[in-house]
Amino acid sequence: MLDVRRMQVLHAVVAESSITAAARRLGYTPSAISQQIATLEREAGLPLLERTARGVRPTEAGRVLTAYAADIGARVDAAVTAMADLCAGRSGRVAVRYFASVGAALVAPAVAALHRDHPGIRVDLRLTDPDDPLPEVREGRADLALIIRTGASPTIDGVRLIYLRPDSYRVVLPEGHPLAAHTDLELADLAEEPWIGSAWPGPCMDAIFAVCDTAGFTPRFAVQAEDYVTAQAFVAAGLGISLIPGMGLGDHPQPGVVVRDLRNPEAVRGVYAAVRTSAEPHHPALTAMLNALGAVASPLVTRRRPAAPAARPSTPAPRQPGSPPTARRRTPRPTE
């Protein structure tokens, strides 16, 4: 077996054409360099150097081995640079799992900022089920997953949850609906309305069931749309009203609907980043991605909503967002 360190000693001797000069460059004594070369010659089974009037020069075997030593040295230097880039967050890969409604509002601008500030980091993005992407994170198949919780513990079976922002639900009504005359609505105003389901049973629906339970009624679902675009289309068709989170609506709701704020009580879902508890601080690319998500999420928390007409005088002041929602979890009920 050829010793890589002795090959680097040979490379230095050949580059200097002198054992003495190589010893001075490497910080060894000439006798130590000679011993290293003699041992390497025994490992190679051939002489590697021959003496000349001006010093030493490589034999054919010495030239071949020196070329490999140069290549190994370059690879080691590249490895050192790669490790330095990883440690500094200049390179690396981070696998992110996200759900549809958070993609445009949060993920896309965060990835754009990451590419601007850390162009060497590669992001593996994949759309996933918002209900339970945690196994991918726990098993190391993903570094980060964006999830919804209406209330969450800091850790779940080796996965740490990092709160990013609240996402308030808003009331979506057909154009011309009598309740559209108000700026915002109390939940009790919607108790007798037919509802359009806007999400699969799970965390996104939990917030709706929990807040309706607090208000003392169970929503009566006329249609279960299970996505926000279709839910708005059914509302526009006059089949009912719906509660849709702000990130699901975006800045431009569909034609045929009006959007109003919900008050007393407010329905909120929490957006969290899930990471393995063992991942940080050993994953600088992940840290950079989390920082980018946090930077995008902070302005979204305080961004003002568009004004709507005809404010209700008795409406209480809106709750200031910024803390995790605390609504209790509830098992989804069958639609009617």
Whether the Cβ atoms of residue 265 and residue 187 lie closer than 8 Å to each other: yes
Only one residue has tokens 């990451």, namely 114
Beta strands in 141-267 (DSSP E): 144-149, 155-156, 159-174, 184-186, 194-197, 220-224, 242-245, 257-263
Residue 80 placed within a domain: yes
**Residue range 76-131, pLDDT digits in tens:** 888 887 777 677 667 789 999 998 888 888 999 999 999 999 999 999 999 886 55
For residues 143 and 16, state if they share a domain: no
CATH number of the domain residue 232 falls in: 3.40.190.10
For residues 239 and 263, state if they share a domain: yes
d(CA 142, CA 103): 17
d(CA 260, CA 182): 8
Burial 124-162 (b: 16+ CB within 10 A, else e): eeeebebbebbebbbeeebbbbbbbbbebeeebeebbbe
**Own/partner long-range contacts of 16-24 (Cβ < 8 Å, ≥24 apart):** 16/55, 17/54, 17/55, 17/56, 17/57, 18/55, 18/56, 19/55, 19/56, 21/55
d(CA 33, CA 255): 82
Residue 106 placed within a domain: yes
For residues 137 and 221, state if they share a domain: no
Which run of H or of E encompasses 96?
Answer: strand 92-98
d(CA 16, CA 30): 13
Residue 281 token pair: 């601080």
For residues 33 and 117, state if they share a domain: no
Residue 316 placed within a domain: no
Structural domain boundaries, residue 50: 4-88
Domain boundary among the residues 56, 88, 120 is at: 88
Nearest to 48 by CA among 37, 33, 35: 37
Count of domains for the chain: 3
Dihedral of alpha carbons 117, 118, 122, 126, sign: negative
Provide the pLDDT for residue 20: 93
Which segment of 68-77, 81-90, 218-227 scores lowest on mean pLDDT? Answer: 81-90
**Residue range 264-313, pLDDT digits in tens:** 888 888 899 999 988 765 788 899 999 999 999 987 654 434 333 333 43
Provide the pLDDT for residue 15: 94
Only one residue has tokens 């590669």, namely 122
- Is the pLDDT higher at 152 or at 25? 25
d(CA 106, CA 164): 10
For residues 155 and 36, state if they share a domain: no
For residues 82 and 117, state if they share a domain: no
Residue 145 placed within a domain: yes
